Amino acid sequence: MKAEIVATGTELLLGETLNTSAHYLTGKLSSLGIEVDYHTTVGDNPDRLEQILRQAIGRTDLLVTTGGLGPTVDDLTKELVAKVLDLKMELDAFSLEQLKQFFARRKAPMPLNNEKQVYFPTGSKILPNPIGTAPGAIIKKNGKTVIILPGPPFEMRPMFDTYVWPELQRIIEPHTERMNERVLKVFGMGESAIEEVLGELMSLPNLTMALLAKRAEMHIRLVARSSQTTSGEASDALDRAEEKIRQRLGDKIFGRDQETMIGIVGQTLRNKHLTIASAESCTGGLLGAALTQEPGSSEFYLGGVVSYSNSVKQEILGVNEDDLKKFGAVSEEVAKEMAAGVRSKVGSDLAISTTGIAGPDGGSDQKPVGLVYIGLATPEGVQAKRFQFYGERESVRQLTVQAALNEVRQHMLNSERRL
């Protein structure tokens, strides 16, 4: 089965918006064994869009479009797909009702031009959009399938995952070659270090392995190809490879596949019935934001203090004024006092602190940009660790958050081992 992705939106052709949707969709389609032959991006120009849609429908089995479903006159994807497939546009009464409710919930009158969004090519299977006003659609004609999705990724992704993914799994034939994927996630090691440790494991038979550098972690991506009937063997090959890799990398691997650092840390805190608090300087609240990212975080996260100024470090966290003067705000001592301070103030089991120089200014020879101390207070005591990160301000802050979460994770792993 061959597929093609067409994105429309003038903003994509002005360098304003990065087309992450094509990337997302391609990954999903590939994992089902659907071969994506082309991505095409075209602006909101009716002639060019029509020509691209005609070309795509002519040469592919499955066309996925993103964008061009808005209420304005230059949003034309559905209309042009209908034209190319020689279908009429029809009002969908259910979608109109949903749209009216959408505006009613917002206590806003429904603008007339939004009505355009509930017309679809005849015979469409309509895909509801709980987040925005543009439903999507699946249209089948003459052995071709066209899937029409909205442009904003935060609307497109849930629509794809909820409605399109199960539909595609039905369409795929059993003998199609699938890519069975497993991703192992590593924190605290670079690409070449991992490559060296893994050595000959990088080229195992019947498996491909790739290292992908993400902002604050490395991903080891394993792929074993199979048909539906041999997927058990592929899965065994992945298990064996994962075991060998884990033997070498140990707890540098913090998670796999969809698991995230904060997901793992949150789950472990929950399982152990531990609570945590945060005291942040250079991360300015990002660590608290990470700890509260997932629903249910109030079970383990009690709260924290963003002690950006020294006065807040002293007044709320009780950091010693002499230590601030003697060692500076970015120091092991202050990181420890911040963690201990917020732990006693909030009354949590654990507390984690960050203090560092995020840059681009404020660095010196002794304390360069990227220098960060992370403190951890636990019932057993207080410790702090020194890190030197590289990159621009936002990278340093993100790396600090990830390293802080990793400290919490390692602490909980080590406590387990001591028991």
CA 334-396-305 angle, to 5 degrees, is 45
What values do phi and psi take at 313, rounded to 5?
-60, -40
The span from the CA of 18 to the CA of 235, in Å, is: 34
Residue 386 as a binder of a second copy (CB under 8 A): the answer is no
Neighbours of 111 (CB within 10 A): 10
Closer of 1 and 413 to a second copy (Cβ): 1
- Shortest spacing between CB 122 and a second copy, in angstroms: 26
- Binding of residue 10 to a second copy (CB under 8 A): yes
Segment 313-372, which members bind a second copy (CB under 8 A)? 315-316, 345-347, 358-361
3-state secondary structure of 107: coil
Instruction: Identify which of residues 121 and 353 has a Cβ nearer to a second copy in the complex.
Output: 353
At closest approach, how far in Å is the CB of 114 from a second copy?
A: 6
SS3 of 296, please? coil
Using the minimum distance from each CB to a second copy, give the nearer residue, 139 or 343: 343
Binds a second copy (CB under 8 A): choice among 305, 340, 350, 382: 305
Our finding on whether 296 is near a second copy (CB under 8 A) is: yes
The smaller minimum CB distance to a second copy, of residues 234 and 305, is found at 305
Rounded to 5 degrees, φ, ψ at 123 are 90, 5
- Least Cβ distance, residue 107 to a second copy (angstroms): 8
Q: Does 29 bind a second copy (CB under 8 A)?
A: yes
What is the nearest approach in angstroms of a second copy to the Cβ of residue 109? 9
* Binding of a second copy by 121 (CB under 8 A): no
The most distant pair of C-alpha atoms in the chain lies apart, rounded to whole Å, by 79
User: Which range in 78-86, 224-232, 263-271, 293-301 contacts a second copy by CB under 8 A?
Assistant: 293-301
Kindly determine how many residues on this chain lie close enough to bind a second copy according to the rule CB under 8 A.
106
Window 399 to 418, contacts with a second copy (CB under 8 A):
none
260 part of the interface to a second copy, by CB under 8 A: no
Piece in contact with a second copy (CB under 8 A), picked from 224-232, 292-300, 333-341, 403-411: 292-300
If binding is defined by CB under 8 A, does position 375 make contact with a second copy?
no
The β-bridge relationship of strands 2-8 and 35-42 is parallel
Q: If DSSP states are collapsed to H, E and C, what string results for 37-85? A: EEEEEECCCHHHHHHHHHHHHHHCCEEEEECCCCCCCCCCHHHHHHHHH
Q: Is 393 in the site for a second copy (CB under 8 A)?
A: yes
Q: Which is nearer to a second copy, 91 or 213 (CB)?
A: 213
The answer to whether 41 and 8 have CB atoms below 8 angstroms apart is: yes
Candidate list 234, 291, 330, 338; residue touching a second copy; CB under 8 A: 291
Residue 278 CB neighbour total at 10 angstroms = 32
* Cβ–Cβ < 8 Å for 89, 121: yes
CB 297, min distance to a second copy, A: 7
Q: Which is nearer to a second copy, 52 or 139 (CB)?
A: 52
* Residue whose tokens read 């509260």: 292
User: In sequence order, what are the beta bridge partners of 371?
Assistant: 388
Site for a second copy in 87-106 (CB under 8 A): 105-106
Q: How far apart are CA 352 and CA 278, in angstroms?
A: 5
Residues 122-181 that bind a second copy (CB under 8 A): 131, 152, 154, 158, 181
Q: Hunting for tokens 């060296």 — which residue is that?
A: 196
Classify 143 in phi/psi space as left (phi over 0), alpha (psi -120 to 50) or beta.
left
Residue with tokens 């048909």: 227
Q: Which of residues 53-72 bind a second copy (CB under 8 A)?
A: 70-72
**Can residue 283 be called a binding residue for a second copy (CB under 8 A)?**
yes
> What binding mask, one character per residue, do residues 263-282 give for a second copy by CB under 8 A, x or -?
---------------x-x--
CA-wise closest residue to 157 among 269, 266, 27, 321: 27
The b/e string for 325-359 (b: 16+ C-beta within 10 A; e otherwise) is eebbbbbbbbbbbbbbbbbebbebbbbbbbbbbbb
Minimum CB separation of residue 199 from a second copy in Å reads: 12
Residue among 256 and 393 whose Cβ is closer to a second copy: 393
Residues 195-234 that bind a second copy (CB under 8 A): 195-196, 210-213, 215, 221
Q: Using the rule CB under 8 A, which residue among 326, 388, 414, 416 binds a second copy?
A: 388
- Residue 215 sits at φ, ψ, to 5 deg, of -55, -50
Q: From the CB of 309, what's the least distance to a second copy, in Å?
A: 4
Length of the chain: 419
Does residue 255 interact with a second copy by CB under 8 A? Answer: no
